[in-house]
Structure 1
Amino acid sequence: MEARHHEDAPVIRVSAGSGSGRTRLSAFDAALRSAGVANFNLIRLSSVIPPDAEVREVEAVDQLVGRHGDRLFCVYASAHAELPFHQAWAGVAWALADDGSGAGLFVEHEGPSEDQVGHDLTASLEDLIAGRGGGYAEAGRVVTSVTCDTEPVCAVVVAAYLAQGWTA
């Protein structure tokens, strides 16, 4: 069943990025820049998609916009590698309720291989769905990777719910 979306329903934008830097932190920042969310303060959410939401895969240029330092409420996976030829894989997958409400669930995983991240995303979604008695189906996933050459690297996938300033 297709989800019903209201005009003012939230759009959750999912983007991916990767980058390198002289430290793990600067590699993480480079990956966030690549995903289009570097100038936010990330506030990590658990993995519940509200009813009426629309999950949309986007490029970095189409990610949420806001002012420098705004809060970004998001679900994300970030993976690091620091040794030459090692890989960093990050992924986010989601399932939506069968009732068409738009309600759903995100899962996020990171690891050293595509196989591990793919397996973990599938297993977690299956467990979350089973724990709720069923009624959901996988609706999408975004997985990305980067291979370390000489500097630390980071791969991220970010599901951005809401950008919000600090004043009421």
Structure 2
Amino acid sequence: MTDTLDIRVSTGTGTGRTTLSAFDAALSAAGVGDFNLVRLSSVVPPGSIVHEVDGRDQLQGAHGDALYCVYAEAHASLPGHEAWAGIAWSAHEDGSGAGLFVEHEGPSHEQVAVDLTHSLDDLSVTRGGVYRPAGRLIAGITCDTLPVSAVVVATFRRAGWQDLPL
């Protein structure tokens, strides 16, 4: 029997005097600003349930913990330019909880939405066409004067440094 893995997906946008500080503000808004992000690829293990959450309902942990996640990040620093980030996911048709994530970023909602759809379709075809779209989150922000960032984060697990193998 497989333990259930609750995967939480949240969004955030932020503004800062630099692209990096805008990214940090977006991560904080998504509820993951105090973690060290460990980026995963796109495979969702069997026994998983994906939940859309607000940043305040993201995984909790100690300052500096490692956070295993899939994320999309977008940045814009010119007035009038937009930053859009999105994650979409699919589920195996057998109901096992196995699935796939795809993440994209771009200059418009439409571009990110199309890219997410095409990637999910292609990843399913590569695996025999047995995955069906199950959800998506897209976040965006327009640069007025200061740099901006948009993020979407799917969190799997967190680990304290004492829990990590050396």
Same fold (TM over 0.5): yes
The equivalent residue for 2:147 is 152
Instruction: Describe how 1:9-158 pairs up with structure 2 within 5 A.
Output: 9-158=4-153
SS in 2 for 1:167: helix
Unmatched runs of 5 consecutive residues or more in structure 2:
none
How big is each residue's C-alpha offset from its partner over 1:79-126, in whole Å with a ceiling of 9 and x where there is no partner? 000011111000000000000000000000000001100010001001
Give the counterpart letter for 1:103 in structure 2: A
SS in 2 for 1:149: coil
SS in 1 for 2:162: coil
Give the counterpart letter for 2:35 in structure 1: F
Identity of aligned residues (%): 63
Q: Could you list the runs of 4 or more consecutive aligned residues of structure 1 that deviate by over 4 angstroms after TM superposition?
A: none
SS in 1 for 2:137: strand
How big is each residue's C-alpha offset from its partner over 1:45-76, in whole Å with a ceiling of 9 and x where there is no partner? 00000000000000011000000000000000
Give the counterpart letter for 1:9 in structure 2: T
Whole-Å separation in 2 of the counterparts to 1:145 and 1:19: 10
Q: What is the TM-score of this pair, normalised by structure 1? A: 0.95
Whole-Å separation in 1 of the counterparts to 2:57 and 2:17: 28
SS in 2 for 1:32: helix
Q: Does 1:161 align with 2:120?
A: no
Q: What is the TM-score of this pair, normalised by structure 2? A: 0.96
SS in 2 for 1:22: coil
Give the counterpart letter for 1:97 in structure 2: H
Give the counterpart letter for 1:87 in structure 2: E
The two structures, once aligned, show a CA RMSD in angstroms of 1.0
Whole-Å separation in 1 of the counterparts to 2:81 and 2:109: 12
Q: By how many angstroms is 1:133 displaced? A: 0.7
Aligned length: 163
